[in-house]
Structure 1
Amino acid sequence: MTATALSAVPLKRALISVSDKSGLLDLGQALSARGVELVSTGGSAKALRDAGLTVRDVAEMTGFPEMMDGRVKTLHPAVHGGLLALRDNPEHVAAMEAHGIDAIDLLVVNLYPFEATVASGADDAACIENIDIGGPAMIRAGAKNQAFTCVITDPEDYAPLLAELDANDGATTLPFRQRQSSIAYGRTAAYDAAVSTWMARFEQTPRRIAASARLAQTLRYGENPHQSASFYVDGSGRPGVATATQHQGKELSYNNINDTDAAVELVSEFDGPTVAIVKHANPCGVATGSTLAEAYTRAFDCDRTSAFGGIVALNGTLDEATAAAIAEIFTEVVIAPAATDAAIEVFRRKKNLRLLTTGTLPDPRTASRAMKQVAGGWLVQDKDAGHIELADLKIVTRLAPTDDQLADLLFAWNVAKHVKSNAIIYARAGATVGIGAGQMSRVDSSRIAARKALDVAEVLGLPQSAAVGSVVASDAFFPFADGLLAAAEAGATSVIQPGGSMRDDEVIAAADEAGLAMVFTGMRHFRH
């Protein structure tokens, strides 16, 4: 970098072309008051002129009018030469003089709202029309020439720009331009990634993939205090923690966000009043009820110890009675589609409790991609949107489940989908009574779930394990009969599992001998 490039660059000319006109008039007035020449296009130029400002049309600079419904207006050497010219390079300066190219010191551009158009559910034609071409080209040109050109892509950077000019006698400094170049390239990369992701729906396995997300929050730390962390949102509009309104409480932590996401995705599986309590991304209690208050009490009873300091998700409007029940113990986060004023008032007495409302729930059957980073690459798969209906179940034992057992089997199956593998779920009357999660052996998960069911019995004063008379769900097949027999010993009467083991016949025979009813789903739900 030359000595000239390291010096401050006085701001004499700005090219402004924005889709989002937030703060545009204030910026234009502030620049004009500093003697900066304003060059602009289309709607931006009109808005500035309507505010009484003097604006030079970009068409005057290029010698060509805007054409093709505005698709072509800034793709011209007069624009890109003004953005890219190295002003300490004699050949560049000579070329500018020979061709009448004016230097552009400031570029203010934000792009057509492609992400918002896609999120709105617009048709393909509208989405394609909102793919910006000239904007990204100008941003890349100006950002590359950070030695001389300052690029602003977000309205939130208007105030820092004006502060920079005030602090440097109307000039921008190299450190400021470098920072803005980084922001600019991040914006074009994210924009192209959003377009690429949308286009990739036409391919089962795209040759290249890219992710687009915007910083929403710098977190206090990650999973542990020695890890830094941030929260980014992808703009997809999928309801959940990323789109929720926080009504009270301190900022969400990394673990809060992770657990809250797990909780809201789980309750979205159910139609009737349902509550899930999650701890360390695993449900410790899930239940349905005639009301949310009843559902919460039943979910809480599944594991009262683990529920302390947990995340509570509801699939309906949080009411006063449910809020009062939740407030009886320490809870980190409560998330629901909505909350009544009375419920919000109950929580105001719990200043550290975070209350989030999402407006609606995510659709568990919506197809999307899930990505997981590994050393040197990414694993990419379809999100687990698998769903089983009653008609999908295959009865494989001599004894058939009753209607009540079938309802509980489907309930337990939907819960198992959201429990870390190996997962074993005992459920009865629409409530979990024992959950075994994340064990290397399915037998161990069965034993842990059975132990939890004994704890439930002790807490509720039952004469025997809460697993007696329950159903049991396994997220993957039983490779041997031992896991099935452990469930039978705990008191389960019917079983739901994917099937597909080489030893299915042995497992079915063991179920028949134990007097169990068993159904196969033909689908597994590994969750790692």
Structure 2
Amino acid sequence: MADQRIRRALLSVSDKTGLISFATTLANRGIELVSTGGTAAALKAVGLAVKDVSELTGFPEMMDGRVKTLHPKVHGGLLAIRGNAVHDAAARKHGISPIDLLIVNLYPFEATVAKQASYDDCVENIDVGGPAMIRGAAKNHESVTVVVEPADYDRVLEEIAANDGATTLALRKALAAKAFARTAAYDAAISNWFAREIGTPAPDYRAFGGKLSQALRYGENAHQSAALYLSAENRIGVATAEQLQGKELSYNNINDTDAAFELVSEFDPAVPAVAIIKHANPCGVATGTSLAEAYRKALACDPVSAFGGIIALNQPIDAEAANDITKIFTEVVIAPGASDEAKAIFATKKNLRLLLTSGLADSRAAGLNFKSVAGGFLVQSRDASNADDLELKVVTKRAPTEAELKDLRFAFKVAKHVKSNAIVYAKGGATVGVGAGQMSRVDSARIAAWKATEAAKAQSINEPLTVGSVVASDAFFPFADGLITAAEAGVTAVIQPGGSMRDDEVIKAADERGLAMVFAGVRHFRH
């Protein structure tokens, strides 16, 4: 059955965007309209002839609207196979009329959860009849057209107009596929919310769903396909940011921008902070008295790697910061806002992507991370530990000074966002050397120190930037060699999680060199 003429449509929508225009066009083509509750009321209010679903079923809506479409005359009308003698006979016997077009969008469960509504309100916004109808119509796509969002109204009307009141099988298949995906994403949101509410970190079944935000040109490499989806989490960040200018974001742009924005969101928004990211690792992070100062300090850490990087700021961008940022090639800039002057400055760099968000991400908020593995996927809670909240334990003879302690917390915040093994040197609220992703922690320490030496040469400074700095390690030093390398680079204080079998050896090495060291008690592996 290629084309299927539409004679009767059932409409039951929560989102009434475009509803009146759509329904009016259907009615003008002689299509009978059947509807429920608020949808029927909205259609009748503009003078459309509408049959209430209660007239169809012979039962009134009841139980506060929980029961209205769960009836054989609805589901029989959706599921009956047209031209099947057994189905046709059953329909005639029980007075079931076919429903050719179903328009349903679901109770706004995801939006209700995002508003942090009460448990009872969330439960009341779990749709039951809607998913049942959608799945029935989608299963019977040989005969029934199903629409689950207003974005497809025009698509359906165009087909009806082009095919003398009918839709094609190709369209019905496409809409059925979307319908099943929509109910799957809806159920995923509900099941994950329930798991959080009852405190189940490892439910027997785990599902994730999302809505397409952007089909990407390719993935990490040109031969890989990719797309960006929006989840029910509604977290502030790159996925929900507004792009003011620049080319379309790539897969790598999005991945790196997410890393930059999550890092800069670690810092108090009252204190200007800037993070520069390259290949998902920070090549410079700093705080300052202004965004411009923070940017210049972050850039000084590794000006070579910063070229073509991603820049995240934790405050609305002003003209001074925009002027500095546009002096070198930058792929993406993301911030909570930008002044009109800053926007005008960025507009002179047409290829630069400028993204603005509604605020910062909550670094302490609960959430889930997941990644695929062969035959399954790993799920873990988000690393929501913030260095400002940690009780640091002094383990050396010398305790850190207030200035060192401030830099230690700063460095540990950055280390949380550096690929393991991670070593971060910092001084005066700025990174001065970053070692990332090495198989050996001592190699990370050496690489970070070497980069600090190169950065000093670029600024005509006679000694490595690491002299007088502090160092953070994302995990414990398994041997003293990593700490000794940092000491040779000129550090005065160390922060690390602690917990190694050789902690005593590492503490002894720190004491012998007059270093202050604190244990954070928290590890920040990032793979």
- Name the TM tier (shorter chain): over 0.9
SS in 1 for 2:219: coil
CA contact (8 A) 1:390 1:410 kept: no
Partner residue, 2:470: 471
CA contact (8 A) 2:7 2:100 kept: yes
Partner residue, 1:143: 138
- Counterpart of 2:247, as a letter, is K
Partner residue, 1:497: 496
Q: Deviations over 1:307-348 (max 9, x none)?
A: 100000000110000000000011010000111111001001
CA contact (8 A) 2:390 2:520 kept: no
- For 1:175 and 1:220, the matched residues in 2 are separated by 25
- For 1:365 and 1:16, the matched residues in 2 are separated by 42
SS in 2 for 1:332: strand
Partner residue, 1:113: 108
Partner residue, 2:227: 230
- For 1:204 and 1:111, the matched residues in 2 are separated by 27
The TM-score normalised by the length of structure 1 is 0.98
Q: Deviations over 1:351-372 (max 9, x none)?
A: 0111111111011111111111
Q: Which moved more, 1:436-445 or 1:453-462?
A: 453-462
Partner residue, 2:261: 264
Partner residue, 2:239: 242
- Equivalent runs, 1:366-445 vs 2, <5 Å: 366-389=365-388, 392-445=391-444
- Counterpart of 1:386, as a letter, is S
- For 1:9 and 1:270, the matched residues in 2 are separated by 58
Residue 399 of structure 1 and its aligned partner are, at CA, apart by 1.5
- For 1:199 and 1:422, the matched residues in 2 are separated by 36
Q: Which moved more, 1:164-173 or 1:298-307?
A: 164-173
SS in 1 for 2:387: coil
SS in 2 for 1:392: coil
Residue 465 of structure 1 and its aligned partner are, at CA, apart by 0.6
Name the count of aligned residue pairs: 523
- For 1:342 and 1:420, the matched residues in 2 are separated by 36
- Equivalent runs, 1:90-169 vs 2, <5 Å: 90-169=85-164
Partner residue, 1:334: 333
The TM-score normalised by the length of structure 2 is 0.98
Residue 75 of structure 1 and its aligned partner are, at CA, apart by 0.3
- Counterpart of 1:185, as a letter, is F
> Is residue 2:275 matched to residue 1:276?
yes
CA contact (8 A) 2:387 2:410 kept: no
Partner residue, 2:358: 359
- Counterpart of 1:133, as a letter, is V
Residue 456 of structure 1 and its aligned partner are, at CA, apart by 1.8
- For 1:391 and 1:49, the matched residues in 2 are separated by 60
- Counterpart of 2:273, as a letter, is T
Partner residue, 2:176: 181
Partner residue, 1:54: 49
Partner residue, 2:32: 37
Q: Give structure 2 stretches of 5+ with no counterpart.
A: none
Q: Give structure 1 stretches of 5+ with no counterpart.
A: 1-5
Residue 459 of structure 1 and its aligned partner are, at CA, apart by 1.7
Q: Deviations over 1:123-175 (max 9, x none)?
A: 11111110000000000111111111110111111111011111211111211
- For 2:491 and 2:401, the matched residues in 1 are separated by 13
Q: Deviations over 1:211-262 (max 9, x none)?
A: 0210000001110111111000103221000111111111111000000000
- Counterpart of 2:499, as a letter, is G
Q: Which moved more, 1:274-283 or 1:80-89?
A: 80-89
Partner residue, 1:193: 188
Residue 204 of structure 1 and its aligned partner are, at CA, apart by 2.4
Q: Deviations over 1:485-504 (max 9, x none)?
A: 00011111111111100011
- For 1:223 and 1:151, the matched residues in 2 are separated by 35
Partner residue, 1:304: 303
Residue 515 of structure 1 and its aligned partner are, at CA, apart by 1.6
SS in 2 for 1:227: coil
Partner residue, 1:78: 73
- Counterpart of 2:488, as a letter, is E
Residue 51 of structure 1 and its aligned partner are, at CA, apart by 1.5
Partner residue, 1:515: 514
Partner residue, 1:3: none
- For 2:29 and 2:72, the matched residues in 1 are separated by 27
> Is residue 2:212 matched to residue 1:215?
yes
- Counterpart of 1:152, as a letter, is V
